Homo-oligomer: A and B are copies of this chain.
Amino acid sequence: MSDLARFSINQMTVRQLSLPELTGACVELGVPGVGLWREPVREYGVEAAAELVRDAGLRVTTLCRGGFLTATDPDARKAALADNRRAVDEAAALGTDTLVLVSGGLPAGSRDLRGARERIADALAELGPYAGEMGVKLAIEPLHPMYAADRCVVSTLAQALDLAERFPAHQVGVTVDTYHVWWDDTAPAQIARAGAAGRIHTFQLADWTTPLPAGVLNGRGRIGDGAIDMREWKGYVDAAGYTGAIEVELFNEELWAMDGREVLAQTAARFLAHVIE
């Protein structure tokens, strides 16, 4: 088994590559898995993308992303549920069993975090069974608390699991992403809780570097550049029984300005140096 056996490159890390460029580079560099994003996949065509990755012998480790389930407006809510059903369909078509969910922020003018979290639960009650039928697991991703207002009212693994545990594990679990949980001293125990119930549906890596850029979206650090001990976090998911893929997902303007194939090669090398070896 290659040391890259569990490595997966999240498409966002090398978004400058077209899908054929990405799959080609993966084959060439011995990268076995990819985490795909809906927008570029739909642009290329879902069926065509599925064929492309299948022909390349790649495993699609996740589809990113569904979610945004916090709207109060009935029409917006209905549209969000329909869009999430489509995301489940796309995941199934791509041959991945995991759809990452980013829950959504507060509706404009709202200050009701609790209500927003409850609307996510209501939405999961509809989406979970549908996903289960399609063989797709929903992976609620707690995002760093700095996104609580505008992107994701689910800020901790404990909150994500409180939501997920209302449903069977094959319907709803969690995403563990080091970037979002590294500061949280309760996260290791929550990873154990998630693992014991078979609810770690994906494990993603990005490093924490400062200063954060304006808007705090695109400053995720390359593995090894920041404050996060990657081996420590891999140790937690290992101990919790997680044996799946490990995705590196970086939103980083500097990396996007580089040659994408070079970024992929470097990311794989850093994965080996800081996570595996």
Looking at the complex, which of A45-53, A80-88, A223-231, A265-273 is the stretch in contact with chain B? A223-231
Indicate how many identical chains form the complex.
2
B-chain residues with CB within 8 Å of residue A155 when the two chains form the complex: 183-184
Establish whether residues B215 and A212, one from each chain, have CB atoms under 8 Å apart when the complex forms.
Answer: yes
Q: How many residues of A contact B (CB 8 A)?
A: 35
Binary B-proximity of A202-223 (CB < 8 A = 1, otherwise 0): 0000001011111110000000
Of the candidates B111, B146, B214, B229, the one whose C-beta lies within 8 Å of that of A146 is B146
A185 — nearest CB in chain B belongs to which residue?
B159
* A108 shortest CB reach to chain B, Å: 10
Establish whether residues A150 and B215, one from each chain, have CB atoms under 8 Å apart when the complex forms.
Answer: no
* A4 interface residue (CB < 8 Å to B): no
* A144 interface residue (CB < 8 Å to B): yes
A109 — nearest CB in chain B belongs to which residue?
B227
B-chain residues with CB within 8 Å of residue A184 when the two chains form the complex: 145, 155-156
Q: Which of A208-257 contact B (CB under 8 A)?
A: 208, 210-216, 226-229, 232
A148 to B178, CA, bound (A): 14
Establish whether residues B212 and A111, one from each chain, have CB atoms under 8 Å apart when the complex forms.
Answer: no
B-chain residues with CB within 8 Å of residue A208 when the two chains form the complex: 148-149
Closest 10 CB pairs of A and B: A148-B183, A214-B214, A149-B227, A145-B183, A146-B146, A111-B229, A211-B215, A150-B210, A145-B145, A212-B216
Q: 9 more A-B contacts (CB under 8 A) besides A111-B229, A214-B214?
A: A110-B227, A111-B232, A112-B229, A113-B185, A145-B145, A148-B183, A150-B210, A156-B185, A216-B216
10 A-B pairs with CB atoms under 8 Å apart are A110-B227, A113-B183, A114-B185, A145-B145, A146-B146, A148-B183, A150-B211, A212-B212, A213-B214, A216-B216
